[in-house]
Amino acid sequence: MSRKELMEQDVRTIGHVAHGKSTVVKAISGIQTVRFKNELERNITIKLWYANAKIYKCENEPCPRPFCYKYGDLQSYGSGKEGSPALYVMPLDGHDILMATMLNGAAIMDGALLLIAANESCLQPQTSEHLAALEIMQLNHIIILQNKVDLVQEDVAINQHEAIQTLIKHSVVDGAPIIPISGQLKSGVDDLKGGVAGGSILRGILKVNQTIEVRPGIVNKDESGKIISCTPIYSRIVSLFAEQNELQFAVPGGLIGVGTTMDPMLTRADRLVGQVLGEVGSLPEIYIELKGTESQGNVSKLTKNEDLMLNIGSMSTGAKVLEVKKEEKKYVCRLLLTSPVCTRVDVKVVLSRKIEHHWRLIGWGKVTEGLTVDVVSPLPF
């Protein structure tokens, strides 16, 4: 394996306290820099600490950016055309009383990673001081990392991104790239792994490399909070697991883990619970209103404008009773759902009512028809 001459670069992570400097260093190098007793007690980095991280670039022409870059174990890449520059990364503390530590470390840096937390306003006091130090040093190799984007909504992250661009104008970091990341999740730091969906197959077969659709997907609302449309998520199956057993295809029965190319932000914290996954074009409509029937005695008497809890498959959603009437020997009710559901006609729906601050089962019925939601172009995968 041919390797370039070793190139050593000293890079510092800088920014305000608790904006994720040490977390990013650990994500890049795997090294925990908070080690001493007083650091562990306060959960901050005080002493200067180097973390060695090797970043390789494949020189194969068919290997495009950014996939040609890798850090860590060279054997796992295996093209035989990697160089081996070394990168030393050091977190510099953001506490004002420890600014001397930052300046001592800054004196020997070749580049800097400026961290700004997406869940706080910018610029914070120590961030401004670190920028002033960079101005004094006239350091040109700077990348801005907009960290903790996993903790905020997309529009908040976009607004802060624009605010950062405005604030850095005419400064030493003017024009520096701003990269949104999550140091904790390694999103934007490591090779991206898609989200995993778990559940049971009701019908059909799932196969590795199959193109799939998730409905309802992303729910779109207007300024008043009214649901106006849904954007299904298109993805591809990259792995199938039943417990620890890797599969090439899966059939109905048991629990299955489906590895996909979806952004893991979409699947974390059970965000897709209740959604339906299947082959593109095979899934049912998405409803915001449901009309259903029940045999007399199956459901306690419902009243107009009453709030209920509905369970449809694995989806739990609130519902408001819009209409109740009797047709022949059955009661027919129309419900406005809090969240849209992807379901078929004739599916059983379980109803619960809040009694003494607890949801209590009051009966069940079947879907006969409903009001569908507009479906907009699905997200790319």
Question: What is the pLDDT at residue 1?
Answer: 27
Question: What is the pLDDT at residue 31?
Answer: 64
> What are the residues whose beta carbons fall under 8 Å from the beta carbon of 300, sequence distance 6 or more?
353, 362, 363
Q: What end-to-end distance do the CA atoms of the chain give, in Å? A: 35
Contact (Cβ atoms closer than 8 angstroms) between residue 341 and residue 216: yes
Residue 309, classed as helix, strand or coil, is strand
Say how far apart CA 281 and CA 289 lie, in whole Å.
22
Say how far apart CA 42 and CA 34 lie, in whole Å.
10
* Res. 221: pLDDT tops 60: yes
Say how far apart CA 292 and CA 334 lie, in whole Å.
7
Average pLDDT for residues 10-34, to the nearest whole number?
69
* Res. 4: pLDDT tops 50: no
- Pick the more confident residue, 93 or 198: 198
Say how far apart CA 67 and CA 52 lie, in whole Å.
21
Average pLDDT for residues 352-375, to the nearest whole number?
89
Average pLDDT for residues 221-248, to the nearest whole number?
89
- Pick the more confident residue, 185 or 198: 198
- Pick the more confident residue, 31 or 177: 177
Bridge partners (DSSP) listed for residue 115? 15, 145
* DSSP of 140-190: --EEEEEE-GGGS-HHHHHHHHHHHHHHTTTSTTTT--EEE-BTTTTBTTS
Question: What is the pLDDT at residue 214?
Answer: 94
20: left (phi over 0), alpha (psi -120 to 50) or beta: left
Question: What is the pLDDT at residue 245?
Answer: 84
Q: Is the pTM of this model over 0.75?
A: no
Bridge partners (DSSP) listed for residue 318? 309
3-state secondary structure 36-54: CHHHHHHCCCCCCCCEEEE
| pLDDT single digits (tens) 253-278 | 777 889 998 887 788 777 888 899 99
* DSSP of 210-237: -EEEEEEEEEEE-TTS-EEEEEEEEEEE
| pLDDT single digits (tens) 313-358 | 878 899 999 999 888 777 889 999 999 999 998 888 888 899 888 8
Helix residue ranges per DSSP H, the chain: 21-29, 37-42, 99-106, 125-137, 154-167, 264-267
| pLDDT single digits (tens) 144-161 | 888 888 888 888 888 888
Contact (Cβ atoms closer than 8 angstroms) between residue 256 and residue 199: yes
Say how far apart CA 26 and CA 189 lie, in whole Å.
10
Domains of the chain: 8-180 (3.40.50.300), 196-279 (2.40.30.10), 286-374 (2.40.30.10)
Contact (Cβ atoms closer than 8 angstroms) between residue 343 and residue 199: no
Average pLDDT for residues 214-233, to the nearest whole number?
91
Q: What average pLDDT is seen over the chain?
A: 77
Question: What is the pLDDT at residue 381?
Answer: 53
Give whole-number Cα distances, 171 to 61, 109, 112, 116, in Å: 37, 19, 15, 16
Question: What is the pLDDT at residue 46?
Answer: 53
Question: What is the pLDDT at residue 185?
Answer: 64
Question: What is the pLDDT at residue 45?
Answer: 59
> What does the longest C-alpha to C-alpha distance in the chain come to?
86
Look at residues 146, 108, 85 and name the one whose alpha carbon lies nearest to residue 12: 108
| pLDDT single digits (tens) 91-112 | 444 444 344 444 544 445 677 8
* Res. 372: pLDDT tops 90: yes
* Res. 193: pLDDT tops 80: no
* Res. 128: pLDDT tops 50: yes
Amino acid residing at 72: G
313: left (phi over 0), alpha (psi -120 to 50) or beta: left
Average pLDDT for residues 42-62, to the nearest whole number?
63
- Pick the more confident residue, 201 or 127: 201
Say how far apart CA 180 and CA 295 lie, in whole Å.
54
